[in-house]
Structure 1
Amino acid sequence: MAIDSADLQAAGLPTTASEALLRSDALAPLQDLEIVDESVDGDVTRLTVSFTAGGYAGTTTLSVQRDGWAGLLPRWRFARSPLAVMDLSVRGSMRFSVNGFEVDKRQVSVDRADADPSAALPLLVFSPGMYSVAVNTAISATPGVAVLADAPLAGVPVNVQAEPTEDFISVVQQRVNDFLSACAEQKVLQPTGCPFGFTVRNRIDGEPDWSIVEQPVVTVVPDGTGWRIPSAKAVAHIRVDIRSIFDGSVRTVDEDVAFRVDGEITVQPDGTASILVGGETD
């Protein structure tokens, strides 16, 4: 079943395709195998095979030729490699599984540790073969995408978009809550690095007192190779005494300040997530 780079190049396929999936752990069984047609062209025999994969019926044609003898029995080899190339894009995770076999992009990419999270991965696969690609990590998951490779030396494009897990969203929610609560501890009108603040024309008489009366309801959505927190409404409350610069009178400001929160989430190579919270006052 061996294939060389010249054959891949001639078929218009990537010559750097990984052999990681050419193992029994990454194979799904085929059922109802039957040779339904046979033709001979010189020393090449073409066999049309019907099969069932994952409940779906299919056919493929394999080309074989004699390769000497094993005692009294003829030995055969493939005249044309039955391998195909899965062009796999997995967004939202560096790790995924194929038919339950765990794969890390950095293990199969030609760039290894410097693998681009957004780049498609060329992977050699057997044809015919059913391949189910899924993501199941603490951060992201997907029910999986099944694809049938049923033609030798063909490209099989597969796109998988992982979605954030409930645990991941819960962690992000807690981090945002903690961030805003820390902002509210600052005794200034414009808390540093925070998405809310208050402006006055006069002087303040004493330190402002902030509190968060409505935390945002955070969601997480895919954003390229990372994640994004869409803009969400939140409400802070300020209480501060204001002294007039004209007559010295003091009045107390005691009101809500509406603002919006958004953010960017970057997943580090070690699997941890860096959360950058932003936003602005409404």
Structure 2
Amino acid sequence: MQGTSPVIKAVASWLLALMLTIAAAVVAVYFVNAKAYGPEHQIRAYLQTVADGEGGQALGLLHASVPEANAALLDNDGLRASVKGLKVLEVGEPEDLGEDRVQVPVRYAYDGTEGTTGFVLENAGKHWMFFDTWEFVPSALPTVQVNAPALREANLNGVRVTLPEGVNTFAAFPLSRVAASYESPYLAAPEQHTVVTAESEEQLNLAPEATKDLISKVDTSIRAFLDECTAADRLAPPGCPFYHLTNNRVDQPIKWSIAQYPQVKLTQTEGRWVLSPLTGTARVTATQIDLFTGAKSPLVAEEGFTFNAALRVDGEEVSVTPQVD
């Protein structure tokens, strides 16, 4: 017995080493499976694909279907811009949902504003016998509706898109940021944005405002119209909003001038730009003759006036049509 004890000890040592090696291998497989093949890995791969602007690959990873919506945000520049500024702060521990499904929370930040969303994945079997394969549960892409009654186009994540009848719906990838705005020489709508998550049905409402250039353009047109009226040598210039009534006879020359031009104010009504009523003051000078005494005296009078004007803005074309009763 004593002669065999070294052999037994050697076998025991070998068995112990083998068990430790197997245990280490099991632990290694567990950690590799969790870190390299866990559901978190799929999420990071998906977000990287979106950041690269590869919309087709992102759709494949998500197993997502595209709803009946505009696809401007699903590829290239529009897609890359949708995750610009995204910071993934934490990919949390998977929460078991049963039926081989888990929900993975993702804490993120866009421009300093933090939020949390979740992705649902399911176990699709083993890879190389030991490693789990996780796939996103199939779903439809979320959508964002852009509303702008006064516009027929907008800027969406740097991409020019159309808004038929002032509205359009766009498909977007989960955990993307959609920013809508509009700017032209005469109209501008400040940026509105939203973060799209897996179950989003968001809306962005653009409210275009008149630019200084548009107000200046309208003001110039109104002044030109009134200045043309002042060129008439009559007490009631035809087609003009001001006139002067008197019982005396008035000799030529009759001279009109604008003492106060109207202030231009624009408002929106049912998606159309409308000019508020235009109010100003005109001054007339001439020589008047009393019909009873024949005495002459200077005529100097100021007449307040009010009129409306129709405004049409079509791209870079602006038309102002005075409406005088």
Report the residue type matching 1:272 in the other structure: E
- The question of whether the paired residues in 2 share the 8 Å contact of 1:92 and 1:140 is answered with no
Matches within 5 A, 1:132-211: 132-152=179-199, 154-201=200-247, 204-206=250-252, 208-211=254-257
Deviations 1:131-155 (A, max 9, x none): 2222221112243122222242x32
TM-score (norm 1): 0.75
Unaligned segments of structure 2, at least 5 residues: 1-58
| Alignment pair present for 1:25 and 2:77 | yes
Structure ranking higher in strand proportion: 1
Provide closer, same or farther for how the CA distance between residues 60 and 199 of structure 1 changes in structure 2, counting only shifts above 3 A. same
Deviations 1:68-121 (A, max 9, x none): 99999957354223x22212112544332223223232xxxxxxxxx323xx32
CA distance in 1, matches of 2:213, 2:203: 30
Report the residue type matching 2:284 in the other structure: I
- The question of whether the paired residues in 2 share the 8 Å contact of 1:69 and 1:75 is answered with no
Unaligned segments of structure 1, at least 5 residues: 6-14, 106-114
- The question of whether the paired residues in 1 share the 8 Å contact of 2:237 and 2:243 is answered with yes
Higher relative contact order (CA 8 A, sep 6+): 1
For residue 19 of structure 2, what is the aligned residue in structure 1?
none
Report the residue type matching 2:195 in the other structure: L
| Alignment pair present for 1:126 and 2:183 | no
Give 1:126 deviation, angstroms: 2.0
Provide closer, same or farther for how the CA distance between residues 55 and 198 of structure 1 changes in structure 2, counting only shifts above 3 A. same
- The question of whether the paired residues in 2 share the 8 Å contact of 1:63 and 1:80 is answered with no
For residue 10 of structure 1, what is the aligned residue in structure 2?
none
For residue 109 of structure 1, what is the aligned residue in structure 2?
none
Deviations 1:209-255 (A, max 9, x none): 22222222323333432323333542211134556666766655321
Deviations 1:171-226 (A, max 9, x none): 22111111111121223333333222223446554463222222223233334323
Structure ranking higher in helix proportion: 2
For residue 50 of structure 1, what is the aligned residue in structure 2?
107
Report the residue type matching 1:88 in the other structure: V
Report the residue type matching 2:319 in the other structure: S
| Alignment pair present for 1:90 and 2:148 | yes
Secondary structure of 1:191's match?
A: coil
Of 213, 230, 249, 2:259 maps to 213
TM-score (norm 2): 0.66
Of 258, 261, 276, 2:321 maps to 276
CA distance in 2, matches of 1:209, 1:145: 52
For residue 76 of structure 1, what is the aligned residue in structure 2?
135
CA distance in 2, matches of 1:53, 1:84: 19
Give 1:279 deviation, angstroms: 6.7
Provide closer, same or farther for how the CA distance between residues 203 and 130 of structure 1 changes in structure 2, counting only shifts above 3 A. same
Q: How many residues align?
A: 256
For residue 116 of structure 1, what is the aligned residue in structure 2?
165
Q: What is the alpha-carbon root mean square deviation over aligned residues?
A: 3.3
Report the residue type matching 2:201 in the other structure: G
CA distance in 2, matches of 1:236, 1:62: 69
